A and B are shown apart, each in its own frame.
Chain A
């Protein structure tokens, strides 16, 4: 699913240039925050139809570059997502943090990776995330039946490989050599 550059120098080699440290560090955070914020602007939806793009990107970055986002990244990123998601506040903080821990533990146990295992892993996490979001919203006062989220689950699971490609593209932008070395 992901294209892993073998080393940094392979991606976009330029003599006398190096990737910017600030961009390389902040780009994942920025893209995840934008993915939490921007999709809400383009549709006044009357049913949950958009995949939770913030969460998908968060998963994508975690799977492409384990260790780039610290385990506690779910706290600030989830807080930002909660401001705009409409879920009970704290929902994303809780679920994103648990996701990071689960992913970390599974990767310790299962170091082999390929397209199918990564997609299966993401599939499980995405389905669990959407169902738990529904459960939390229902505890907080809503009463939506389970069938409401079925289209969203299908769209999210199927669009995940595409999100993976986009994250890989972001990764190449992140490591683009733009700083001139002296």
Chain B
């Protein structure tokens, strides 16, 4: 079929108007989209209430899906575990014996720590868990890395609270709805977490790459002290993230830092813990310099 020479849909006025109006509506839709994009670029939080409502509305169904997701993963683990249960059993027994010794050592260290801290007059505030919940959904088709948490204002979740699993830091709460919350995962390229090396405290920033890895940027440039296999924990500088939460392991070195893998793969975690956002103790007030000068 060749395209008609006359592109008019028909000689009927009505048909022509209908075609014209439908095209106009299409262009109008694009214009509305452009306006929405501009609004969300200027004010990213403008539509958060709308997104929160949508997440709240779909939360029950997403919870059910999250449950089935766990079930599927467990079934696979059961099957694969069946095949190497014998060798695993022997290995675990060996490790358990070692771990028992380590545990005694750790208890002694903990007691010593407590004694030293009480000597220095430091008081330790309890790291409080606000809620335990599932990550119910994620933006798996977008380059942004958001997840939806199955707990919201109803369970005391507030923006800025860090989220962690038993393996390490997962992200932080960005927007809160009444029964769900939007989480910025640490692998998002807009997430920057201050970290330090677990062994000696080399300070760095961990920024998401968007592809599941983290980019470690050292604060002090110079000779790169990082090595493959180094474990990074949050340093707590700037507040928000409690210091000492395990975060990532270095996999590749680059000139001014490293590429690291996140320790807690969010797709492997069952439940995550919402922590209180951590505020460092306020710095001691400066010697009243200003007050002196005023006089």
Residues of A at the B interface (CB closer than 8 Å) are 37-53, 70-72, 74-75, 78, 82-98, 100-101, 104, 108-112, 133-134, 136-145, 147-149, 152
- B33 and A141 form a contact (CB under 8 A): no
Cβ-based interface call for B17 (8 A): no
Tell me how far the C-beta of B97 lies from the nearest C-beta in chain A, rounded to whole angstroms.
35
- Among B76-84, B85-93, B187-195, B227-235, the one that faces the other chain is B187-195
- A53 and B29 form a contact (CB under 8 A): no
Among A41, A110, A142, the most chain B Cβ lie within 10 Å of the Cβ of A41
CB-CB under 8 A from B262, the residues of chain A are 46
CA of A96 to CA of B23 in the docked complex: distance in angstroms? 14
- B140 and A48 form a contact (CB under 8 A): yes
Tell me how far the C-beta of B47 lies from the nearest C-beta in chain A, rounded to whole angstroms.
4
11 A-B pairs (CB sep. < 8 Å): A42-B69, A44-B138, A47-B187, A50-B140, A83-B54, A85-B139, A93-B33, A97-B29, A111-B2, A137-B143, A140-B40
CB-CB under 8 A from A97, the residues of chain B are 26-27, 29-30, 32-33
Given A46-B266, A47-B187, A142-B190: A86 in contact with B1 (beta carbons within 8 A): no
- B7 and A142 form a contact (CB under 8 A): no
How many chain B residues touch A (Cβ–Cβ < 8 Å)?
63
10 tightest Cβ-Cβ pairs between the two chains A and B: A90-B36, A86-B139, A94-B33, A93-B33, A71-B26, A144-B210, A41-B65, A75-B29, A72-B25, A97-B29
CA of A171 to CA of B3 in the docked complex: distance in angstroms? 27
- Among B118-126, B144-152, B277-285, the one that faces the other chain is B144-152
